[in-house]
Amino acid sequence: MKCPFCSSIESKVTDSRASATGDVIRRRRECEGCARRFTTYERVEEVLPLVVKKDGRREVFDRQKVLASLRRACDKRAVPLARLEQTVDGVERELIDAGDKEITSEKVGERVMAQLREIDPVAYVRFASVYRQFRDIDELRSEIDLLARVNQEGPVQS
């Protein structure tokens, strides 16, 4: 590990500790060149797919964008932030487990909507109205009717 002070590549680990969640290891190091101490963090690097946008651009999956969209949809709703973070974690885990190098933004949105439908129906309609870009009130009404059928009968494919 390169020393941030003198750039020497020789250092020794003086202490290692796992984080409370166990997904990060904190290592205290001492440079053998200048004897100064510094801390490094070790975590597994997850390979997330590139998101292919509607216009063909490609971006790295950004969990903060998804979380911000969910927070907007759940504004003034009784949905805890921890639940939204679990939702984003679930979507992110699905993307990693799928192992695809690229995924369309439509598929990401559909995965988010599927989970949001179970969390809060009003937030789901808000998210869907922006995501699906309803052109008129009839499209919105048909989505609400579908949601009502799902709640009465169980899952229906859209």
- Please give the structure tokens belonging to residue 108: 């990401």
Tens digits of per-residue pLDDT, 77-93? 999 999 999 999 899 88
The amino acid occupying position 91 is V
pTM for the whole structure: 0.60
Domain positions in the chain are 11-43, 50-153
Phi-psi sector, 93: left (phi>0), alpha (psi -120 to 50), beta: alpha
Which sign does the torsion angle of CA 128, 131, 137, 138 carry?
Answer: negative
DSSP 86-147: HHHHHHHHHHHHHT-SEEEHHHHHHHHHHHHHHH-HHHHHHHHHHHTT--SHHHHHHHHHHH
Tens digits of per-residue pLDDT, 43-102? 887 778 999 998 999 999 999 999 999 999 999 999 999 999 999 989 988 988 888 999
Tens digits of per-residue pLDDT, 2-23? 999 999 999 999 999 998 778 8
